[in-house]
Each structure stands twice: as C-alpha cells, then as structure tokens.
Amino acid sequence: MITLEAVYWLAGGVFAVFAVLSGLDRQNPKRLGNALFWGLFATSFLFGSRLSDLANGILVLAMVTIAGFGGLGIGRPATTSTEQRATSARRLGNRLFWPALTIPAVTLFGALVLKTVRIGGVFLIDPKQATVISLGLGVLAAGVFAAILLRPPPLAAFQQGRRLIDTVGWAAVLPQMLAALGAVFALAGVGGAVGGLVSHALPADNRFAVVCAYTLGMALFTMIMGNGFAAFPVMTAGIGLPLIVKKFGGDPAIMASIGMLSGFCGTLMTPMAANFNIVPAALLELPDRYAVIKTQIPTALLLLLANTLLMYFLVFRF
C-alpha cells in the first residue's frame, strides 16, 4: 500500500537534489548555505519520522539560523533564452498547459477512484491520505508528461525547480512551521486560556459580541500565525465550541465553516502567510514586497464584516 511516507520520500528526494545542485553552483556566492539549508529540509522529509523530537528540533533551529543570518542566496542555473522560450511557446501553443492540468486530473482521479482499489485485499493507496498521495502521483505524472512533451535536458526540471525555490527562499518552509506552531498552541492549552479571557471580558449574554470575538479572533490569530488552519483549533477550542455552540446553542458546522473563512480574511492581510503574499511579489519582482497585501486589505476587511454578519444571522437559526 502506498502511504503518506512515500510522498515525504518524493519531496525529500527533490529537495536533496536541490541541495546537491546548489552546492555545485559556483555562480551563487552563498551556495554552501543554500546546500545546507535545503539538505536539512530534505532530511526532515526523508528521516523526520525516524529522528527523535530533539533531533528534529535541532534541525529546525539550524535552518532558522542559516536563514536568519542571511545564509541563503539565489542560484543562477543555466536556462534557455527569452527568444528560445518564445519560439517553444509558439510551437507548442496551448499544449504547454497539458502537464499542469495533469496534476488536478490525477489528484481527482486518485481521490475518487484509486482510494477504492484493492490488490490482494489491500488498498492500493491509504484511503485516509488519498488526496495528498494522489497529489504526489499527479506531480510525478505531470513531470513525466512534460519530459515527453518538451524533451528538456535531463536535469532541466530540477534546475528550474531550484531556481524557483531559491527565489522563494526560506518562505517556502513557513507554512509547515506555522502549522506545527498551531498544533503546539492547541496542545499547550492556549485555546482554553483565550476562552477564559473572552468569557471574562465580554457581556455574559451578548451573542453578537461572542460572534465578533470568534471571527475577529480567527482573523487576528491567522495574521499572527500565518495560517488559518493553525488558528482554527486555538480559537474554536477557546470561543467557538464553549461559547457559540455549547452556551448559545449555535450550529457547529456553520460556526466552523464561516470561522475558517474569517481566518482566511486574516491570511490576506499578513506577511506571515508568505506563500500567498510575499512569494508572489518576489516572483513578479515587484518593487514593493508588501504590494499584494496592501491591495488585498480593503477586500479582506469587507469579507470579514460579511462573515461576521453571516455567522450571527445563521449560526443560531439552524
């Protein structure tokens, strides 16, 4: 049976290749820092489940030290010229999109069909992780499809992947770290502490105040942690379940769904959500790295207001 561990091995193998190629890139004055950083990241994927908690913690601290002291640079892998890419694009036309469309197609097929396939009474892929495993299979299929369609040099995909990951830099690992932080907060009982503070600060029977505390809290915690999924267990354990659901009888499904949408409003307004807000600015080479956030703030605030009103009028009515 294909398990989630196989996806970790795939990701770890790719980052290990990035580390080797970075170490060999003499065009990058910080090549050793890049090689060590991505090598440590590869190690976390390949051997993280076999390392102790202390060893994994030291590994993360080493990565933070490298990035924090400016140890990462941008490599200069050999690539095609602008004219060559334009010629190739004209020749292939819309077929350029086929490899990219392969990823969602294979992912959907795997999540709906492959998870039910059994061989010798054993599931082909782990049904509990069918979507993530299918995504990994989709990436592999897209890579093979692109190689057949474009016929690039053997290392072209890895070199271009390295160029992209060097441009993104340390922000590529931020979602993982922030999600882990959310789990730590939940286990540490931060949600209960938040709930206690809110219970004492808000009027005892004011439903609207509790709803506002939940939606605004989801947005603010997401802005701090950079991830709505990390903020959700903290705010739901502290405010959503004990106050909205248990005290006032709110519908938990409506509370959870609109609560997550409120958290995503915070995602639009924080540099901590680097993969959404800082990375696009870097890839587009915008002069203002916060330009994406500044553009999104008015929309985010209007959406947060709408989510708050929707929750208040819906969560207690069903």
Write out pLDDT tens, residues 232-244. Answer: 888 888 889 888 9
pLDDT digits (tens, 9 = 90+) for 50-76: 999 899 889 999 999 999 899 998 888
pLDDT digits (tens, 9 = 90+) for 244-300: 999 899 999 999 999 999 999 999 999 887 778 877 777 777 888 888 899 999 999
| 228's tokens | 């709505």
> Residue written as tokens 């061989």?
119
State the CB neighbour count (10 A cutoff) for residue 198: 19
How far is Cα 24 from Cα 283, in angstroms, rounded to an integer?
24
How far is Cα 116 from Cα 110, in angstroms, rounded to an integer?
9
Relative orientation angle of helices 156-168 and 274-283, to the nearest 10 degrees: 110
Strand partners, 85: none
Percent of the chain surpassing pLDDT 70: 98
Determine the number of helices (DSSP H) and then strands (DSSP E) in the chain.
Answer: 14, 2
pTM of the predicted model, to two decimals? 0.74
| 161's tokens | 């992947």
State the CB neighbour count (10 A cutoff) for residue 117: 12
Which range among 36-40, 176-180, 196-200 has the greatest average pLDDT?
36-40
How far is Cα 51 from Cα 278, in angstroms, rounded to an integer?
32
- Asked whether the predicted pLDDT for residue 175 surpasses 90, the reply is no
| 60's tokens | 């993360």
By the 8 A CB rule, do 283 and 167 touch? yes
